[in-house]
Amino acid sequence: MSTPVKLTFAAPRRGKPPRHFADLSVDERKEAMRELGQPSFRAKQLATHYFDHLSVDPEQMTDLPAGARDELVEALFPPLMSPVRSLEADKGATRKTLWSLHDGVKVESVLMKYPERATLCVTSQAGCGMACPFCATGQMGLTRNLSAAEIIEQVRLAARSARDGELGEEVRLSNVVFMGMGEPLANYKAVLTAVRTLVAPEPEGFGLSARHVTVSTVGLVPAIDKLAKEGIPVTLAVSLHAPDDELRDELVPINTRWKVDEVLDAARRYFDATGRRVSIEYALIRDMNDHAHRADLLGEKLMERGTGWVHVNPIPLNPTPGSKWTASDPAVEDEFVRRLRAHGVPTTIRDTRGSDIDGACGQLAITEEDK
């Protein structure tokens, strides 16, 4: 009998990041202005600089009184993260950045350029408490949750990099996927604040389309149901990786709490509430979960819950240091996809970006050297 895996839902208590403009609601930003002896309309001016101009440089805030700029920036835009290093792949179209947070904790995020747009894979926790054995982040354990502002600041910095042509040409950051470090729904409050800010119209937020924001989860059923009621039709991505409980208990330990059918039922409820098609993420692991009968079982389970509500993204497993598992053979991968499609399930192999810099799905991790 295997030893039970310890899951971590509550992050260790650490010193809170300093209060930041991006943590505040619109009303709280106005109140902060009054506390600093400024009229409330200054909040909109600051929001325009932060979310639209992507700047926290007081010298660029020429619409604010010269004597107030430094004070406002110091009070409301404390430095939250600084780059340690960046690695590039895919001929410069993929960039992984290691960040040092205010307390020295390290995290990574990945920015990817596509034709005429960019996508950020954003991190919501330092490490992860879900302990999936094939995922480098899951093997780190959980250090702490990120604040809403720490998540939002990753987006601002990525949007600025994309705009300034640092990926080879000037493009707009149009998509954000919560698929970096961490289980987003285990840091629900901060992630939801960040999501609301992403989709809020400029200058109150970044003005992204909700359909261009994806929130990933290993299957925290109560949180999926809670998200469905928020009225923000973001895309839900469920990291399933196995259609049967016996195998998923091993690959995705949260399955010992919420079984495959419970997770798929919650995913279907999310579609019913939002109208947004759910993505099923499935890392294909050689001789582990890539069998033809498992493709058939997955297809049957999804179609039992209706048509038009789901899409499957098989992902060739990205290698992680010391892992005993590797990606499926291409012929096996093709057969897996063929069988899913034969059941009527829309299926697309996920593009793997950044694997040679350990920037692809499941590869983000902080080494002892990084620490």
Kindly provide the b/e burial profile for residues 252-262, where b requires at least 16 CB atoms within 10 angstroms of the residue's own CB.
Answer: bbbbeebbbee
Confirm whether 108 is a catalytic residue: yes
- The two three-digit tokens of residue 263, written as one number: 């997770």
Catalytic residue among 88, 121, 361, 368: 361
Torsions phi, psi for 206 (to 5 deg): -85, -15
Q: How many residues does the chain have?
A: 371
3-class secondary-structure state, position 70: helix
DSSP 204-235: TS----GGGEEEEES--HHHHHHHHTSS--PE
Catalytic residue among 88, 108, 166, 281: 108
Residues flagged as binding site for [4Fe-4S] cluster = 128, 132, 135
Residues flagged as binding site for S-adenosyl-L-methionine = 182-183, 216, 239-241, 318
The helix (run of H) or strand (run of E) holding residue 111 is strand 106-114
Strands (E), 68-105: 81-89, 94-101
| Partners of 191 in the β-ladder | none
Residues flagged as binding site = 128, 132, 135, 182-183, 216, 239-241, 318
Confirm whether 333 is a catalytic residue: no
Kindly provide the b/e burial profile for residues 154-182, where b requires at least 16 CB atoms within 10 angstroms of the residue's own CB.
Answer: bbbbbbebbbeebbeeebebbbbbbbbbb
3-class secondary-structure state, position 24: coil
Q: Which residues are catalytic?
A: 108, 361
